[in-house]
Structure 1
């Protein structure tokens, strides 16, 4: 199960990977030829795409691709709140996309729809002129033109509440749209500068859909009568859970190779079974399914009939286990013997089914890349201990992000450098590592921050609330301890915080200076060249033995306790032996222990996310922070816990975007009190934000110079790091199972399907029937001394 947050302010198929927490969404739209672009000097490189890239002349004409999706769409209008990943995938194949994204996530003009699009005036107002492809027509034969632009602007600008729109970002800045010499010449004037103008009018709907509130609200929910892509939407059968796209006979571009694409809703936990049954040609899969396909490919040359070492009954293949099973099945207790025989029969049947599926899975390959989305540790700063910036920073400084990224990505052979930005991923022009504004993993600094906030080892036993907080704190104080940054404001009500103080003056704290230093470094051109390129099911308290991270070595034949504190009396060890650093005892304040509620999903597809959570709990336990793991149903994880603010710590992902000034703002905007006393958080589910961050987003959204806009976003990112509400961990892996003969489809990374080029290779060009991917064959289920998480 993928846990990706709600979209970044838009549901546009170009910028999103998901539109709900529990689904993987559409892939960005771009030309496939961009996949071979050279990496610009000095830029962090993105993981390569893996799509079985093939020229059109080597692809057969005709055929149907059966593509797994998570759900059938509730609506086909991507601008409505209940649109989902399948809505976006359909829109990408059947509607105009004016700008697509290349492999670096940069918008590029789509020549199928635009001859040109550029800013022609900046003063006194920004003016953009679109010149449309003269061959571009809707499926009913009418040309795509200015009336369609005007209708979409009127529907999305936010002035008419009769339109049930989910967003109006960018459209509200448009002052007017005018027809040029003809309807193919569209002149758009903005009343305020808008840097992300390329994000607008994608997808573009016909004026029949956008022209009135009634048609907007209801006309495109069940079907699209008019389209303008390489495919048309033939039908959406919600009962059969299938949507069918067919080749568009009026498409003016290169003719689609496929006759049709069938999108089938298949739960992720059932996709290995569906692939083995031959019901799918391509599907996003989880780690377990990838392991099965990899194992099947490796076993292809093995001995026929050789027993499987995994799957049902694999634990019973040893002689001892087999002997025990036979003994129970033939024992004197008839009732127990019958039960044992029935169990053996069920196991044998399941093993045969599993073995047959494994043989069939040999007909697939696993394609892999990094998904344009990142997993983060979210810290809820609205109330409780995490309302104190010092505690949030201590949590962040306790976590070894490199260790987590290595554990998830290295086994897949993918780049495992921790993500250093909230607003871009590796390979994007806007990417810069601003994590220095917070600092690297440092146990002593984390402990000192906690002590300064009043959380001490003696605090859990004390009940005199009037005692000065922090009087028993241990360890040295960091430079920024005891100071409250003006930019570390939260939406917390006055009086709820304990053990913290807010400076009234304008002096910058060291945390702010760190952020300033980080952004100055990021924006310095010469420095950039040298930068390193439901209901809870279960609750458990964490008290794991810490790993050997942070350990030290003792001398040859020296008592460990004589070399470093924390050794065991009388212990001797040869030179180089690692001894764990002393673990902090449980911390407390005013008689209460420091324990954080770590909310995680409980579904079968969430094992890897829970494994990451366990490792984080171990790291926090090392500095005296306890965690209580709350496992909740996947279908309630986001709505009832993340969005509702019912958590202290949580893990979920955000999709990357080509337009951070527009799409990032609602995620990191400072929450504001509503008239009823509640908080309006937009998409900022950590409830941590500042006025300064909001100002930087606003400035960037109005900055037409791309370099200046990126510098503003780097400054905003450094401030987000310093506030310590969201800690990016790693970019998510992307695993896709496909038929080997299927070309131009797979793990797209930031690129997207060029639907007209997808098809099956001609006979003789299919290549190998199976290629094993580097996926380990086993997943650990518990935290060990040196834990490794899998995805």
Structure 2
């Protein structure tokens, strides 16, 4: 990763976008997150593109007709960590790389285009229509050729199983998100076996983001199957591809075409994924071991732009970098979290993160919308404003007394000492950022330790369980906006959804859910912005910037690159003749 982990809401992936929300790209580096492929003109040649602030629908994927591609071949991709949980609906399955692979091997009912619009994928879905608004009813018409790898046709039973696992009614299903599913009242067969009728108890504007991808009822019908049946294995597939091999010792995974696929034959013979630390990805590209690498920091950009076999592609996706605050110890006090936000100079951090990369990194004032997205407004207000004096006042009011220059504040004899958790394989860019934060907080009397932990432990042992004071990752692909709900909703028992800080309020919860149920986009945006202002005030997350995709790809790679909002059609990815 490049400067942070990614979640789908987190993205770690080099290619991450999924229904469940944002992807987490953790703090090993700000890695490339490719969320899909669209259809705009590509940049060619070995020189880096000099990009302005990317537009919402900008894509850069070298679009080519299949007739212009060589049949067969391989795409070699970096994998930022080994995949343990393949179920993208399970709380541990939101890692971006695994989600993206699941969209290759399981039914993807809709594919998002370059404008951010959901388009039915005809191999799975002939149509999907809102046939009633009171109550809201959606009728899906499935392609009768669509089959699971166990031979069963896709049916309403699969939709029903996903709904029942993800609607929150049974806490034994450790769901990453109940968003949208908890607003469904019934899933039933329509007039024939190819029809699925989904009825909502309350309106859900982003219904097309559900069942994305679809999973088989046979694989998730019990909590045990849902939580454990996809650990280091994929029991049933239903797409153009399948898992070819998984070699944990070599840290490699291959994805190959499924000979039973009923659609157009994929161009490539194989996709090979190899787990690499972020620090190794650049050199692996230069050694011709992988076919793309992030160029989103000065060191990587400087090395990759001059490679004769590389082309730099850029686009503007839903991709944000932030610092999350924990809720333990001193940080259980909202005033302390607010003080940290005021003590951190976001503009200075952006200069650190973007140095040497000729692309604008826009400062971000919103948790829901990107700067170039309809509905965006800067809600950071006083909570995102760099004001060390005000930070000091908040800490004093919270009982943390100034102990003098260079010394941490104290309360009841205890020093104000916090921990910033990062992966051991973090890029220099990330380490520079954490060092800058360490210095900034030191100026207001907060001692900040930077703790390096094993890359593969960062999520499972730290972020996922809320064992951090400060942590950084990238949330990616949170479009449409209802996908952000799990990051800020109130935890239910041990299930924190993807709210790893475990911070929320009933008001934030209510506003976000109202917005997701509002069919009018302008009215929904108003509610989302009201919730966002409260998230800033809560001291949950300090947004820093919207991260553009800046990536080096092997020359000749077509229909793949920096796609912005769009999804990848992997059947058309290949090498030019």
Task: Calculate the TM-score normalised by the size of structure 1.
Answer: 0.62
2:321 corresponds in structure 1 to 375
**Which residue of the other structure, out of 109, 121, 128, is the alignment partner of 1:98?**
109
1:525 corresponds in structure 2 to none
Q: Is residue 2:368 matched to residue 1:423? A: yes
Q: Secondary structure at the match of 1:279?
A: coil
Deviation at 1:395, TM superposition (A): 3.3
Q: Is residue 2:5 matched to residue 1:4? A: yes
1:365 corresponds in structure 2 to 311
1:68 corresponds in structure 2 to 78
| Mapping for residues 428-447 of structure 1, pairs under 5 Å | 428-436=373-381, 438=383, 440-447=385-392
2:45 corresponds in structure 1 to none
Q: In terms of mean alpha carbon deviation, does 609-618 or 218-227 score higher?
A: 218-227
Over 3 Å counting, the alpha-carbon distance change for 1:437 and 1:129 in structure 2 is farther
2:551 corresponds in structure 1 to 736
Over 3 Å counting, the alpha-carbon distance change for 1:696 and 1:139 in structure 2 is same
- RMSD between aligned residues: 3.8
1:28 corresponds in structure 2 to 35
Kept after mapping to 2: 8 A contact 1:13/1:26: no
> Which structure 1 residue ranges, 5 or more long, are not aligned?
37-42, 298-361, 462-541, 544-585, 763-791
Kept after mapping to 1: 8 A contact 2:441/2:448: no
| Mapping for residues 648-663 of structure 1, pairs under 5 Å | 648-661=469-482, 663=483
Deviation at 1:415, TM superposition (A): 1.9
What are the superposed Cα offsets for residues 709-733 of structure 1, whole Å, 9 maximum, x if unpaired?
2221110001111223321011235
Deviation at 1:760, TM superposition (A): 0.6
1:188 corresponds in structure 2 to 198
**Which residue of the other structure, out of 148, 154, 162, is the alignment partner of 1:152?**
162
1:413 corresponds in structure 2 to 358
**Which residue of the other structure, out of 450, 463, 482, is the alignment partner of 1:630?**
450
Q: Is residue 2:548 matched to residue 1:603? A: no
What are the superposed Cα offsets for residues 124-152 of structure 1, whole Å, 9 maximum, x if unpaired?
x2211112345544457654333432343
1:122 corresponds in structure 2 to 133
1:400 corresponds in structure 2 to 345
**Which residue of the other structure, out of 255, 262, 280, is the alignment partner of 2:272?**
262
Kept after mapping to 2: 8 A contact 1:419/1:425: yes
CA distance in 2, matches of 1:588, 1:162: 43
Kept after mapping to 1: 8 A contact 2:27/2:426: no
Q: Secondary structure at the match of 2:243?
A: strand
Kept after mapping to 2: 8 A contact 1:77/1:220: yes
| Mapping for residues 604-623 of structure 1, pairs under 5 Å | 604-622=425-443
Q: Secondary structure at the match of 1:411?
A: coil
What are the superposed Cα offsets for residues 221-259 of structure 1, whole Å, 9 maximum, x if unpaired?
565565443323333333443333333445444432222
Q: Secondary structure at the match of 2:547?
A: strand
The structure carrying a bigger strand percent of its residues is 2
Over 3 Å counting, the alpha-carbon distance change for 1:46 and 1:615 in structure 2 is farther
1:752 corresponds in structure 2 to 567
CA distance in 1, matches of 2:458, 2:388: 31
Deviation at 1:368, TM superposition (A): 4.0
Q: Secondary structure at the match of 2:427?
A: helix
**Which residue of the other structure, out of 292, 295, 299, is the alignment partner of 1:282?**
292
> Which structure 2 residue ranges, 5 or more long, are not aligned?
43-52
Deviation at 1:419, TM superposition (A): 0.7
Q: Is residue 2:116 matched to residue 1:173? A: no
1:113 corresponds in structure 2 to 124
Q: Secondary structure at the match of 1:753?
A: coil
Kept after mapping to 2: 8 A contact 1:376/1:726: yes
Deviation at 1:174, TM superposition (A): 2.5
CA distance in 1, matches of 2:112, 2:460: 30
2:63 corresponds in structure 1 to 53
**Which residue of the other structure, out of 710, 713, 716, is the alignment partner of 2:525?**
710
2:18 corresponds in structure 1 to 13
Kept after mapping to 2: 8 A contact 1:66/1:262: yes
Q: Say how many residue pairs are matched.
A: 557
| Mapping for residues 454-493 of structure 1, pairs under 5 Å | 459-460=402-403
CA distance in 2, matches of 1:223, 1:588: 49
What are the superposed Cα offsets for residues 558-611 of structure 1, whole Å, 9 maximum, x if unpaired?
xxxxxxxxxxxxxxxxxxxxxxxxxxxx68566869744242426243321221
Q: Secondary structure at the match of 2:478?
A: coil
Task: Calculate the TM-score normalised by the size of structure 2.
Answer: 0.82
**Which residue of the other structure, out of 224, 238, 253, is the alignment partner of 2:248?**
238
Over 3 Å counting, the alpha-carbon distance change for 1:588 and 1:750 in structure 2 is same
1:201 corresponds in structure 2 to 211
RCO comparison, higher one (Cα < 8 Å, 6+): 2
Kept after mapping to 2: 8 A contact 1:19/1:25: no
CA distance in 1, matches of 2:252, 2:442: 48
1:569 corresponds in structure 2 to none
Kept after mapping to 2: 8 A contact 1:596/1:649: no
Kept after mapping to 1: 8 A contact 2:159/2:187: yes
CA distance in 1, matches of 2:410, 2:26: 38
Kept after mapping to 2: 8 A contact 1:66/1:263: yes
Deviation at 1:197, TM superposition (A): 2.0
Q: Is residue 2:517 matched to residue 1:697? A: no
Q: Secondary structure at the match of 2:426?
A: helix
Deviation at 1:283, TM superposition (A): 4.2
Kept after mapping to 2: 8 A contact 1:145/1:183: yes
Kept after mapping to 2: 8 A contact 1:9/1:664: no
CA distance in 2, matches of 1:724, 1:74: 32
Deviation at 1:758, TM superposition (A): 0.8
CA distance in 1, matches of 2:562, 2:163: 34
Q: Which structure is larger by alpha-carbon Rg, 1 or 2?
A: 1
